[in-house]
Amino acid sequence: MLPTVSVPIYQTIYRLGALYSVYRIVIACCLTVIFLITLENQDSHYNYPSLYFYSVAAYTVISALQLILLRFYPHGVSKQFIGFFIVDIPFLSILTFALDGPNLAISILFVITVFVANFLLTKTKALFVTLVSVIAVIYQQFFGSFFDFSNLNNIGNSALLAFLFFMVYGIGQIAINRFQLLESLNTYQSIELFKLQNINRYILEQIEVGYLVLDEQYKIIVSNPAACLLLGIPPLYAHEQYLLSSFQPDLFELLEKTMIKDNERFQFESYKSAYTVDIRVQKLIVPNQALTLLVLEDAQKINQKVQQLKLAALGQLSASIAHEIRNPLAAIVQANDLIMGSSGQQQTILHQMISKQAVRINSIIKDTLDMAKNRKTTATKILLQDFLNDLLTNDLQDARQKIQLDIQTRLSVFFDDLQLRQVLINLIRNALRHNDEFADYILVRAFKSEHHICIDVIDFGKGVSKQDLSQLFQPFFSTEINGTGLGLYLSQSICEANQAKLIYVEQKQQGACFRIECPLTE
């Protein structure tokens, strides 16, 4: 009886047993052919030619019958495998006797039999086959030595062959243990993969977004119910491939005739569907395959989501503006109440307070409108050396003595000129306000890194505290009493519009560093 194994291992052992059964017939036929070829010199090759021939003939017939039985009755394979070795060992023993002791050819056949027994039988039965094989080789020489002292010379060869059988048995056990371990690991991985496929399938079935994967011939490789619903086609069964032309000819015709690029997006309507479908195309990088992923969504729902996001953003913006202008309005109301009964000097102070708070309100509204405008950018090639010198001369003349430049030569970026000025003025003014009172200057540095052109604005003040880092670029966040909290947010938005990034770089020593990372220019 075979050891308890999983179905894949059982099938593998069955196939191995079938191959061994074919091998037995091939060996029997070859021995028969060899006997017929050497028929004229039987006396020099065989001690008992008749015994040799009839045993080979009988072995051929029995092996053929066992192969037929294994092929048409695969249920009792464990007993059939035992039958193989019940036939093989006596047969090989008779051949050894007929050839006057073991030779190289018969020894190899014995070794193969012992080795295969480790795979087809249990460990105990394989050991029993090994012991019987040893006995079948040695007993002839042992009994022959009582009658013919010349046979004593062959006892050493037989003992060496017996030792070889045990070595083959040991190697076979190591091999079968390794084989079973690998098969068990393969089975475990197959089960885990099957579970993962089921989870993925369940996720695809639950989400509202439709997914359709097509191959080069526009066969549907993967689909989910949402995709079928949006395209107006019946649900497709998993693990089966369908032609898109048969189920959704309108989409097939559109994809076939139109050269749609990767990451392209378009809307699709069909007489088979009641939906206007928003489709995003994505090329999948798969070995030896060119697959296309179609991400399908209901266009009406997308428009609704966009409208909801706009309303939510408008509500957040309105709440933020209301919160920001509440303090200056309160100050204006308070100053207005006090101005009536105050002296001339106090009235001047209160007028200045009202004017200052009105400017602050106007600044909040102006920055908010600038943020909402989303103005179009016009990127041009800017030589940083010339640009920064011009910036200090024309826009920051009052603070030029407090700004030190450190610029690598021949650096250039693609950026909107006016917008880059706006960002740098904002960053430099912030750095000047937060610089240490004992520091003589702030540093504006431009250099080339591995992937970017970087512009750093560095001060030597206290830097940004760790609790404020997460809110640093949030709108209306400011550590200053009179700050609007929109400067850094607007600067970051402008950088993103120019395919650049504005980040905060923590300094090892005192100070803060804001860095603009621009893509490399050719």
What top-level class would CATH report for the domain 207-301? alpha beta
Model pLDDT, residue 231: 87
Model pLDDT, residue 383: 92
Helix (H, G, I), strand (E, B) or coil at 135: helix
How many other β-carbons are positioned within 10 Å of the β-carbon of residue 75?
Answer: 7
The secondary structure of 408-443 as a DSSP string is -TT-EEEE-HHHHHHHHHHHHHHHHHHS-TT---EE
Task: Identify whether the C-beta of residue 224 lies closer than 8 Å to the C-beta of residue 207.
Answer: yes
Residue 444 identity: V
Helix (H, G, I), strand (E, B) or coil at 53: helix
Per residue, the 3-state secondary structure of 57-84, as one string, reads HHHHHHHHHHHHHHHHCHHHHHHHHHHH
Tokens 């249920």 belong to which residue?
A: 75
How many other β-carbons are positioned within 10 Å of the β-carbon of residue 301?
Answer: 13
- Please give the sequence-ordered ranges of beta strands (E in DSSP) within 102-169, or none if there are none: none
CB-count burial class (<10 Å; 0-12, 13-18, 19+) for 157: middle
Q: Is the dihedral of CA 483, 488, 489, 491 positive or negative?
A: positive
Task: Identify whether the C-beta of residue 294 lies closer than 8 Å to the C-beta of residue 252.
Answer: no
What's the whole-model pTM score?
0.41
Model pLDDT, residue 371: 56
Task: Identify whether the C-beta of residue 423 lies closer than 8 Å to the C-beta of residue 502.
Answer: yes
**What does the DSSP 8-state code read for residue 474?**
S
Quick one: 380-519 is in which CATH superfamily?
Histidine kinase-like ATPase, C-terminal domain (3.30.565.10)
Model pLDDT, residue 518: 92
What's the CA gap between 515 and 366, in Å, rounded? Answer: 25
Q: Where in the chain is the domain with CATH 3.30.450.20?
A: 207-301
User: What is the Cβ-side half-sphere exposure of residue 381, based on CA atoms within 13 angstroms?
Assistant: 6
Q: Where in the chain is the domain with CATH 1.10.287?
A: 306-373
- Angle at which helices 77-98 and 104-120 cross, to 10°: 170
CB-count burial class (<10 Å; 0-12, 13-18, 19+) for 179: middle
Task: Identify whether the C-beta of residue 510 lies closer than 8 Å to the C-beta of residue 460.
Answer: yes
Virtual CA dihedral for 129, 132, 136, 142, nearest 10 degrees? Answer: 150
Residue 512 identity: A
Task: Identify whether the C-beta of residue 457 lies closer than 8 Å to the C-beta of residue 427.
Answer: yes
Per residue, the 3-state secondary structure of 262-299, as one string, reads CCCEEEECCCCCCCCEEEEEEEEEECCEEEEEEEEEEH
The secondary structure of 174-202 as a DSSP string is HHHHHHHHHHHHHHHHHHHHHHHHHHHHH
The contacts found for 314-319 with CB under 8 angstroms, 24 or more apart, are 317/368, 317/372
Model pLDDT, residue 367: 62
Q: Where in the chain is the domain with CATH 3.30.565.10?
A: 380-519
Model pLDDT, residue 146: 45
Q: Kindly state the tokens that stand for 178.
A: 């390794």
Task: Identify whether the C-beta of residue 381 lies closer than 8 Å to the C-beta of residue 412.
Answer: yes
Q: Kindly state the tokens that stand for 381.
A: 């090639």
Interior CA angle at 18 toward 62 and 194, to 5°?
Answer: 160
What's the CA gap between 60 and 26, in Å, rounded? Answer: 9
Model pLDDT, residue 485: 61
H-only helix segments in 281-416: 299-339, 344-373, 384-394
* Ramachandran bin of 241, using left for φ above 0, alpha for ψ from -120 to 50, beta for the remaining angles: beta
What's the CA gap between 60 and 90, in Å, rounded? Answer: 14
Q: Kindly state the tokens that stand for 191.
A: 């089960």
What top-level class would CATH report for the domain 306-373? mainly alpha
pLDDT along the chain (522 residues), means of 10: 51 81 86 79 70 86 88 81 85 78 72 80 80 73 49 55 68 71 77 84 84 87 87 74 84 81 82 87 83 88 77 67 70 79 78 81 69 68 91 84 89 88 87 86 90 91 78 66 65 85 84 90 65
Q: Please report which helix (H) or strand (E) contains residue 516, including its range.
A: strand 512-519
What's the CA gap between 508 and 411, in Å, rounded? Answer: 26
Tokens 């504006």 belong to which residue?
A: 444
Pick the closest to residue 117 from 25, 30, 10, 20 (CA basis). Answer: 20
